[in-house]
Amino acid sequence: MATTAKTSSKTAVPKTSKRKTKVPAPVVDSVTEVDTSNTPRANTATPSVVDTLSPVVMSNDLRKKELFELVVERSGMKKKDVKPVVEAMLAVLGDAFGEQREMNLPPLGKLKVQRGKELPDGRALVVKLRQKTSQLNAAPKPEGDAAEE
């Protein structure tokens, strides 16, 4: 009987060894070798003990009384004449804000109500004020100065 050799359809692949290759560890310079002679040194604060705390009150609010004084100073009029006019003007501005009207009041600027919210005790409005730089800090000249020029 004749014997036939079986041939496999798979080709023979030699097995590779499963050894891991060793990579040398990276060499890192030590921190002590860094030159720090040219680096600036920070000033260290000296600690101090605070016995008492004093509150710093910073208020930049413009109150109605101060507004009257400033208007009297700029206009040269008497306070008894200025007070009713300023109060009427504030009432008119309050009404205009309540109606959410847009206002163009130079040299104050252009005022626009962005949004509003009704509260139990009143109304909260977010107002946008746009002032031109030429109008900032510009005080109107009293009428008597125009004749002197």
Cα dihedral 93, 98, 99, 103 sign:
positive
pLDDT cut 90: percent of the chain above it: 34
The pLDDT of residue 43 is 72
Q: HEC states along 1-14?
A: CCCCCCCCCCCCCC
Q: How many other C-beta atoms can be found within 10 angstroms of the C-beta atom of residue 103?
A: 15
Among 11-15, 17-21, 63-67, 69-73, the range scoring the smallest mean pLDDT is 11-15
φ, ψ for residue 113, nearest 5 deg:
-80, 120
pLDDT cut 70: percent of the chain above it: 69
What's the mean per-residue pLDDT of the chain?
78
- Neighbouring residues of 87: CB distance < 8 A, sequence distance ≥ 6: none
Helices (H), the chain: 64-75, 79-98, 143-148
The pLDDT of residue 147 is 45
The pLDDT of residue 77 is 94
pLDDT tens sequence across 31-80: 666 666 777 777 777 777 777 777 766 678 889 999 999 999 999 999 99
pLDDT tens sequence across 96-119: 988 889 999 988 899 999 988 889
Q: How far apart are CA 97 and CA 114, in angstroms?
A: 11
φ, ψ for residue 84, nearest 5 deg:
-65, -30
Q: How far apart are CA 100 and CA 111, in angstroms?
A: 10
Q: How many other C-beta atoms can be found within 10 angstroms of the C-beta atom of residue 62?
A: 9
